[in-house]
Amino acid sequence: MLVLLIVVLVVAGIALFLLVRKRGDASAPAGPVDPFADKDSDALRGDPRALKAGDIVDIFGETYTVRGSLRLKEGGYQWSEHLLDTAKGTRKWLSVEEDPDLELVLWTETPGVPAAGGDAIEYDGKTFQLDESGRAQYVSEATTGLTPSGTVAYHDYTAADDTRLSFEDFGESGKKEAAIGQVLYRSAIMIYPQSSN
């Protein structure tokens, strides 16, 4: 009887060891993890990389609805721009890109800005230096005022205080736009995703 009890305890011990080991393996990360990723903030404030039409976005206490989105791609690089609208009809664009860190910029259309060209533009008492330019493919989702897909030529400038200035020419849609951009801290945005029901 004592031998049988010892055998049962040994088998139970081995089974417990294997179960604990298996659970330990399952909780290990699948691969390298970005040590600077702010997953807690995304869990609490919503993930701007997942924005879509119908989501509600609060920026500095102003509430916007996402009307539509542009998904842009240039070579292997991808980013999104979201058309935001308030109940009062104020419209802005929010760009969301990772290069490699998450960058959020709130854009306000600004008529009367000198046309893009050259390495620097003077506007509103600031000197904006050319940061990048190129041509990207886009796909439009929901309401953006643009064709369902197409190309956009862009010229992006940056001032010393990190204010942005962008020129976009959507070619075949006929839309050209100049906008001033404000870089946002992640904590400035609270997202309320649209219900999936």
Domain range annotation of the chain: 41-114+121-192
Residue 15, amino acid: A
pLDDT at 142: 96
Concatenating the DSSP letter of every residue in 105-157 gives EEEEE-TTPPPS-SSEEEETTEEEEEEEEEEEEEEEEES-SS-SEEEEEEEEE
Is residue 21 classed as helix, strand or coil in its secondary structure? helix
Phi, psi torsion values for 41, nearest 5 degrees: -65, -40
pLDDT along the chain (197 residues), means of 10: 63 66 57 56 76 95 96 95 93 93 95 85 94 96 94 96 96 88 94 78
Query: Which residues fall within 8 angstroms of residue 108, CB to CB, at 6 or more apart?
Result: 92, 179, 180, 181, 182
Beta bridge partners of 59: 62, 189
pLDDT at 83: 97
- pTM for the predicted model, two decimal places: 0.77
pLDDT at 37: 54
pLDDT at 171: 87
pLDDT at 18: 65
